[in-house]
Chain A
Amino acid sequence: MRFEFTVLDDHERALQAEVRAFLGDVLPRGSFEPGLGMAGRKDPAFSQALAARGWVGMSLPRDYGGGDRPAVERFVVAEELLRWGAPVGHHWIADRQSGPLLAKVGTPEQKARFLPAICRGELSFCIGMSEPDSGSDLASVVTRAVRAEGGWVVNGTKVWTTGAHEHDWMMALVRTSDGRDRHEGLSQLLVDLRAPGVEVRPIPFLDGTSDFNEVVFQDVFVPDADVVGPEGQGWRQIGQELAFERGGPDRWLSTYLVLEQLLREQPALATDPTFGELLGAAVAQFWGLRQLSLSIARTIDRGEQPAVEAALVKEMATRFEQDLLEAVLGFVQSEPAPGSGSLAERLLATAVLTAPSFTIRGGTIEILRTIVAKGLRA
């Protein structure tokens, strides 16, 4: 367990200022409907505008259209986008997770095929890990790929795949063989969501939205070229991937805008000392969590894999996202209405309805505790 203190250098602060100016310019407050952190809307045009600035695929290799830029620079951009509520949905998963995974373990052919389009903000990805009978116990996945001429035939069902109805590709964890150990024989496949045999069915979310999906594979052919890295390495790959996924600002900014917008819309709160205490405590928490998260990005830049540290941060930070929401609700006079004319109310309504997912998505806090405890005891 190692969190080293770090600060942004002048170059990184200049980048921060540049992103702020860009957002103020192309996406001024009030001109768009902000989202809650990484649940920001999908807007391919915005993703492509960001890409034109070099802010999509920042950490990907320059040879494939990326920026070859450090994780800390990506952190700076991600943080600003999320706290602004920017529509990052189109490129988020590709930029954060699928792109870096391909850059790390993909074949040269895969990199050439996918990375430039990811870096242009064009290709979008979703993640196919969970299944109807496999959630936290991910090694129990039963979606199976069977050898065929020139590739694999996939059968099975993935669930909770956010955005599968709109995204282009799925990074799917499937069983390609039966190893002695159940962690062996798993592989990640690139599945074209428009391929024959792929059926995407919506699973309506409790707030009425339908981003959530079930994806059924019926004899879907996946060519050998679309197996990510060496066959059978899926479990190891996921372990590396999660350091990218878990330690970032996605995990503590989901309810930030609720606080900011309430303060903006209800200036009278400024004279309420108990609100002042809530605000102060929240700002201190954001500041502290940000130090931890930034430290993880810096550690990644040193070539290390702070997976335990990332799990520790996510466990704590997602609970904070929920606690902050509950505290803020104490200062709202009536039930927040989803269709309200007030942005603060709309954000609050969405936050109330989606907050339980913060401590579930990307690894439940129970699983994260097990990972951290193992790391502490090692």
Chain B
Amino acid sequence: MSSVDPLVSETAARVFGDQATFSAIEQAEADGWAPAMWESVAGTGLPWVSVPAAAGGSGGTLADAVEILRIAGRHGVPLPLAETGILGGWLLAGAGLQLPSGPLTVAPNTPADTVELRDAKVWGHAHRVPWARAVDGIIVLLDGPPRPMVVLVDPADVRIEHAVNLAGEPRDTVHFDDAIPLALAPAGPGVDADALRDRGALARTATMAGALERLAELTLEYTASRRQFGRAVAEFQAVQAHLVHGAQQRELVALALAAAVDASTRGPARFEIAAAKLLADRAATEATRHAHQAHGAIGMTREYPLHHFTRRLWSWRAECGTERAWAREVGTMALTAGADRLYELITGGSDLLDSLAADGGRAHT
């Protein structure tokens, strides 16, 4: 099983706890970027964990990087951490390119995107690009043929139209108009649009797991301190149900994330990532509802921190594949397994799919 370097967890908890205070998160939302917070976090090297040192990363494992994202989600850290490291760094390093020193972002390949290469120049539009306005490099993965290409573009060479997600974090529209890439190379082995989406889903599941932890904590604290009818509202069974349902979703997603990471260390974990993101999306819906209901009106205010986590969960559940999209995906895997091996899929996951594919391949030859 994959284990995490304890120093990584400690560093992340300390720096995110110090930096992502309530007022710092509010300020980041108002300004669209938190340069001081980025500098502090970048100084620890955390954004580049899992990216090989040779490419300009911090080294470390995918499990370490996911743990950092989970802790970032717990603190509502408003920075492009996943985009810089396990998505952007992964794309660049895999393509044999060096990482620029600052924050990076990756275009998430929405269906509305029209980016293409013409004579080694970039044209078209990319939507919902996290923090495009603030980064040092925008990365786009373009479909082949013959192979998918990783393209790194200087934000100074594009037009950026500001847009935000439900949490007020930048999700900008980027217009490429004859932009000359800073770098361009064929993507690494196994890297394509599906692999990028899977990795993005793993990253979002990690931050969601963290946010779900915080939601459960806030709800527990609030319902223990808020008194009505002469006692803490947590004493009421109807309120306790909210606590229990929030805790269930937190635990379910925590283990799903761990399982997805574990499978990812052995190979492409298509099934585990799909199932984990699906569960996280559903958990976001359930847990935010219970947390808000338990909080009552105070939870709807700007001054109380609950919204830093519920708004992020509402955004993240829609990114890198929705619950429904992932349900279709897992459903297709289940149909591949068929009724006779359906349960083997539940216990074996991607390993079963790989063995079915290998058998199928043999059957055809």
Q: Which residues from chain A sit less than 8 Å from chain B, CB to CB?
A: 1, 3, 5-7, 16, 29, 79, 83, 256, 259-261, 263-264, 270, 273, 275-281, 283-292, 295, 312, 315-316, 366, 368-370, 372-373, 376-377
Contacts and interface: CB of A to CB of B under 8 A. Distances in A.
A292 to B, nearest CB: 6
A376 B220 contact: yes
A377 B220 contact: yes
Given A280-B330, A285-B279, A287-B275, A372 B244 contact: yes
Chain B at the A interface: SS class: helix
23 contacts: A260-B339, A260-B343, A261-B339, A275-B331, A277-B328, A281-B282, A281-B330, A283-B334, A284-B278, A284-B326, A287-B275, A288-B252, A289-B252, A291-B255, A291-B256, A292-B251, A312-B247, A366-B237, A369-B237, A372-B244, A372-B247, A376-B244, A377-B243
Given A279-B331, A291-B252, A291-B258, 16 more contacts: A3-B254, A16-B347, A263-B342, A264-B339, A279-B334, A280-B332, A281-B331, A283-B345, A284-B279, A284-B326, A287-B259, A288-B256, A366-B237, A369-B237, A370-B240, A372-B240
Contact of A5 (B1, B243, B333): B1
B330 A312 contact: no
A282 to B, nearest CB: 8
A376 B255 contact: no
Contacts of A287: 256, 259, 272, 275, 346, 349
Residue from B243, B245, B328, B342 with most neighbouring chain A CB atoms (10 Å):
B342
B234 interface: yes
A29 B340 CA distance: 9
Contacts of B30: none
A30 B244 CA distance: 41
B300 interface: no
Contacts of B333: 280, 283
B335 interface: yes
Contacts of A285: 279
A376 B258 CA distance: 22
A290 B279 CA distance: 13
Contacts of B120: none
Interface string B253-294: 011101100100000000010111011001000000000000
Interface in B74-115: none
Contacts of B254: 3, 5
B13 interface: no
A1 B252 CA distance: 12
B271 to A, nearest CB: 8
B356 interface: no
B346 A377 contact: no
Contact of A280 (B234, B326, B349): B326
A275 B331 CA distance: 8
A312 B251 contact: yes
B8 interface: no
B262 A7 contact: yes
Given A5-B259, A369-B244, A284 B274 contact: yes
Contacts of B329: 280
B234 A312 contact: no
A292 B330 contact: no
B335 A270 contact: yes
Interface string B313-344: 00000000001101111111111001110110
B224 interface: yes
Nearest to B279: A288
Contacts of A277: 324, 327-328, 331
A248 to B, nearest CB: 15
B328 A273 contact: yes
Contacts of B335: 270, 276, 279
A10 to B, nearest CB: 13
A290 B252 CA distance: 10
B53 interface: no
B343 A288 contact: no
Contacts of B251: 1, 3, 292, 312
